[in-house]
Structure 1
């Protein structure tokens, strides 16, 4: 059985590139060394078995990171809102191996980076995925 986080990561990456104009297509699995701000980074994924007697499934938690160097938190909050609008309640096609049930926003945390310049938003979503 393939890893469902790979399918989820690909779909989330493609949606954010289209649905988040504030980052101008700057969505990265691993940002380049000379990255331009603002941008979205794909973060941690946790897969938890959610199988039952009659279905193989997983609960996936995916974390996204928004990075901004604009003064204050306004830009980071605007981008986080775009991420929320793009993914919360979306219908996702995970391909032939996985049946998508739902994706929902779980939390957003806004942090001042220790560099004194960067604002960091940490956004977590929960997805339910079944094996076909």
Structure 2
């Protein structure tokens, strides 16, 4: 499995296994379904991702960035802020491991919460960066 796909699976599995997060969200989605909220007021989706090559003569590596989006229809921004903070505490400098690739470091570099353009939904953005070394 490629490093970017394996990292996304790790993020997905880690968020889904975090009871405090799943108590607040209807799901974590790569492709958002028709009813993403289910019986909750929020959900998480994968946003854009990119990779910056950081290879050297003797190794293949890269800095992988993922955007995680939090969507909340609860009144006010508190719920989205709580979920964004839970994602931070779950992922930032966490001791996580990949199977096919080597995860050197994972960090949450950026968190933002704002009212979406519809004027009702609160949108949270969490930027996750990981340094990964790939086998040659």
Settle same-fold status: TM greater than 0.5.
Answer: yes
Aligned partner of 1:107 in structure 2 is: 110
> 1:1-132 maps to which residues of 2 (within 5 A)?
2-19=1-18, 20-24=21-25, 26-36=27-37, 37-96=41-100, 98-132=101-135
State the TM-score, normalizing by the size of structure 2: 0.89
User: CA-to-partner distance for each residue in 1:72-116, whole Å, 9 max, x for gaps?
Assistant: 1100000001100111011222212x1110001110111211211
Q: CA deviation at 1:24?
A: 4.4
Q: CA deviation at 1:21?
A: 3.1
Q: Which blocks of at least 5 consecutive residues in structure 2 are unaligned?
A: none
Q: CA deviation at 1:25?
A: 5.5
Q: Report SS of the residue matched to 2:17.
A: helix
For 2:77 and 2:11, the matched residues in 1 are separated by: 24
Q: Which blocks of at least 5 consecutive residues in structure 1 are unaligned?
A: none
